[in-house]
Structure 1
Amino acid sequence: MLNFLAALFGPRVKLPRDRVTRISRRARKKAQEHIDTMQKIVDELSGLPGIADVTKTKRLPRGFYDRVDDMLTAYDRYVEAVRAELGVSDAAVPGTPAGKGACYAAPYGVSGPEALAIYREIRTWKDFAQVAQRLGELGEQQFKDIQAGHTGKDPEKIRMTSKAAGLGRKTFAERGEACPFLDQGKGRCRIWDRRPMTCRMHHITGDAELADPRHERHAEVQVVNIRVPVRPQVALSQIDKRMALGLSPFLYASVLQLLQLGEGQLLQELGEAPQRMQQDGRVVQKANRNVKHSKKNLKKKKKKKKRK
C-alpha cells in the first residue's frame, strides 16, 4: 500500500518524452480534420476481420499494413498542423542529424500495430540478425535497470507508472546506447517511414545537443510533445487488447516478441504469397532447376554416361 501511495502521490521520474505539452483549443480545431481521419482509420483497423485471431493464425487481416501506414500519415499531418500553430515548425526531431541525440533514449509506449509494421520492415534487412541481437542485448539491459529499483516480491510484475520503472528508464537512457534503428554514421533513422509515434511526437525546440541523455544538462532540454489525441489513442489501446499479442510497450522487446511469434518468418496478411526468410533477412529463393549443377541436369548427365 505504501509503495502504491508513493507511486501515486510522490515525485515521478520523467524523461523529456514524458513531458506533457498542452495543445491549445485553437490548435486542435485547426487539426480536427486530421484527428477525425485518424479516428476513422483506427476504427477501420479494429473492424478488420480476423484481427483478434493473429496469435492463432499468425496472419494479419488483408489490408492491415496499408491501414497502419495510413494511420501514421494522418498522424504526421496532425503533427504538422499543430507544429505550425505552436510555431515550432523548425524544431529538431529524432531520426534526423539535428535531433539524433534523442535516439539515445529508447522509445516507450509503442502500440501493437506499430510494432508489427516495424517488424515487417526490418525482417527483410540483410543485417537483420545483427540488429536482432542488438535489440535483445538492449532490451535485456533495459529490464534489468527497471528491476533494479523494484521492491515488490515478484520482479516480473512491475507497474510501468511506478518509480522503479521511471528510474530504470532514466538509468538506461543515461547509458547512451544508440537505437539499433539509427544509422549512426548518417544520423538518420532507418525505419523513418514506420518509426513509432513516440518518436514522431517529440520535438526539440531548444539546444538540440541537450537532447542526448548523456549530456550533463539533459534535464534542461526544451521540448514539445504532440501526442496522439485521446480518442484515437484509446481506440488504439483497445486494438492491442483485441489482438491479445501481449507485447511489451518497449519497442526493442516487442519486435523480438513478434520474431518469436512468427518463428523467424514474416507475419504476412491473409492472401499474401508465403515468403520463407533466411536468418540474414533475405527471402529464400526457389532452386533454379535450369542451371548446369541442378539435380535435374546432373541426373541427365549420369544417364547419358551409362548409355555410352
Structure 2
Amino acid sequence: MFEFITALFGPRIKLARDRVTRLPRRVRKSAKEHVETMQRIVDDLAGLEGIADVKQSKRLPRGFYDRVEDLLAAYDRYLAAVREGLGDRADGMFPAGTPEGVGGCYAAPFGVTGPEAMLIYREVRTWRDFPQIAQRLGELGEQQFKDIQEGHRGRDPDKIRMTSKAAGLGRKRFSERGEACPFLNESKGRCRLGDKRPMTCRMHHIGGDTAKGDPRHEDHENAELLNIRVPVRPQVAISQLDKRMDMGLTPFLYASVLQLLQFAEGELILEVGEAPRRMQQDGRVAQKANRNVKHAKKFQKGKNKSKPKKKKKKKK
C-alpha cells in the first residue's frame, strides 16, 4: 500500500520520452479532424468480427493489418498538423528513426500497443536475419527486466507495478546503457521498420544539438525535445482494444514481439481467409519470388526458341 501511495504522490522518475509536450488549445483545435479519424479507426478495429477471439483462434479478423496501418498514417497526419500549428517551435526537430534523430533509437525501453506489436511482428518475422534479431530482443528484454527487478523489494519479483520507483529506476538504468534498437540500421541511421515503426518512436522529436538525444550524452537531460503523444481519447480507446483482444502482451516492444513469436509457434499470425506462408527448414519464412527481375520466368518465355529464318529474296 505504501509503495502505491508513493507512486501516486511521490516524485516520478521520468525518461526524456516521458516529458510530454503540452499543446496550446489552438493547435489541438487545428488537429481535431485527425484525432476524430484516429478514434474512428480504433472503433472500426474494435468492431471487427472475431477480434475478441484471437487468443483462441490464432487468427486475426480480415482487414486488421490494413486498419492498423491506417491508424499509424492518421497519427502521422496528426503529427504534421501539430507541427504546423507549433510553427517555429517545431522547426529543426527530427523524429527518432531518422539520421538526425537517431539518438532516440538508443533510448529504450520503447512502449508499444498490442495492435502495433502485431503489425511489427508480421513485418520482422519475414526478414532473413530475424533469428539474429530475435536473439538480440531476448537479450535486451532480459536485461531490461533485471534492471527493473534490481530495485524491487517486494516478496514476488514478478509482480512489479510499472508506476513504482523500482520500475522508474530500472527503466532509467536500462536507457542509460544506450543499447541500439535491434530494428535500427546503424550504418544508415534509419529505422528498418519504416512506416510500421511504433507511435512511441513517431512522437519523439529531437532538436538543437541532436547529439544530446542519445541517453549516453552527459547533457542528455537538457536535450531539446518535442514529444507529441497520441491524444487522450484514441489512447484510451486503444487501451480498451488491447483489453478486448485479451492477448496479455507486455507494453514493451522487445518483449511483446517475442511473446507473439511464442504465441504463433514461430509462424505468422494470419488474417481469416489468408493463405499460409511456406516455412523453410531453418524456421525462416520463405521469401516470395520477385517476378519483375530480369531472370524471372515470365521474361524467359520465347527467348530460347529459335527464330524463323528469313527467306532470301531471289534475284531476278
Fold match (TM-score > 0.5):
yes
Match of 1:197? 199
> Contact between 1:265 and 1:276, CA under 8 Å: does it hold in 2?
no
Match of 1:282? 285
Match of 1:254? 256
Q: Aligned equivalents of 2:110 and 2:185: distance in 1?
A: 20
> Contact between 1:31 and 1:81, CA under 8 Å: does it hold in 2?
yes
Counterparts in 2 of 1:23 and 1:62: CA distance versus 1, 3 Å: same
Show the 5 A alignment for 1:116-135: 116-135=118-137
Show the 5 A alignment for 1:98-177: 98-177=100-179
Q: Aligned equivalents of 1:193 and 1:84: distance in 2?
A: 20
> Contact between 1:108 and 1:251, CA under 8 Å: does it hold in 2?
yes
Match of 2:218? 216
User: 4+ runs of 1 displaced by more than 2 Å?
Assistant: 276-282
Helix, strand or coil at the partner of 2:160: coil
Paired residue type of 1:211: G
Q: Aligned equivalents of 2:172 and 2:252: distance in 1?
A: 14
- Between structure 1 and structure 2, the one with the greater Rg is 2
> Contact between 1:13 and 1:166, CA under 8 Å: does it hold in 2?
yes
Q: Which stretch of structure 1 is more off in the superposition, 6-15 or 180-189? A: 6-15
Q: Aligned equivalents of 1:59 and 1:236: distance in 2?
A: 19
Gaps of 5+ in 2: 289-316
Paired residue type of 1:282: V
Match of 1:69? 69
Question: Could you tell me how far 1:24 is from its partner in structure 2?
Answer: 1.3
Match of 1:83? 83
Counterparts in 2 of 1:163 and 1:284: CA distance versus 1, 3 Å: same
Aligned CA RMSD, in angstroms, stands at: 1.5
Residue of 244, 247, 251 corresponding to 1:242: 244
The percentage of aligned residue pairs carrying the same residue is 69
Question: Could you tell me how far 1:107 is from its partner in structure 2?
Answer: 4.3
Helix, strand or coil at the partner of 1:137: helix
> Contact between 2:92 and 2:208, CA under 8 Å: does it hold in 1?
no
Counterparts in 2 of 1:134 and 1:246: CA distance versus 1, 3 Å: same
Helix, strand or coil at the partner of 1:246: coil
Q: Aligned equivalents of 1:198 and 1:139: distance in 2?
A: 17
Match of 2:8? 8
The yes-or-no answer on 1:20 pairing with 2:36 is no
> Contact between 1:125 and 1:280, CA under 8 Å: does it hold in 2?
no
Q: Aligned equivalents of 1:281 and 1:80: distance in 2?
A: 37
Query: TM-score by structure 1 length?
Result: 0.90
Q: Aligned equivalents of 2:62 and 2:91: distance in 1?
A: 36
Q: Aligned equivalents of 1:47 and 1:193: distance in 2?
A: 24
Helix, strand or coil at the partner of 2:95: coil
Q: Aligned equivalents of 2:111 and 2:191: distance in 1?
A: 18
> Contact between 1:266 and 1:277, CA under 8 Å: does it hold in 2?
no
C-alpha deviations, 1:256-276, integer Å up to 9, x for none? Answer: 000000000000100100113
Question: Could you tell me how far 1:106 is from its partner in structure 2?
Answer: 1.6
Question: Could you tell me how far 1:284 is from its partner in structure 2?
Answer: 7.7
Q: Which stretch of structure 1 is more off in the superposition, 21-30 or 177-186? A: 21-30
For these two proteins, the number of residue pairs brought into alignment is 286
Gaps of 5+ in 1: 286-308
> Contact between 2:109 and 2:171, CA under 8 Å: does it hold in 1?
no
Counterparts in 2 of 1:161 and 1:184: CA distance versus 1, 3 Å: same
Paired residue type of 2:70: D
Q: Aligned equivalents of 1:273 and 1:29: distance in 2?
A: 44
Paired residue type of 2:92: D
Helix, strand or coil at the partner of 1:240: helix
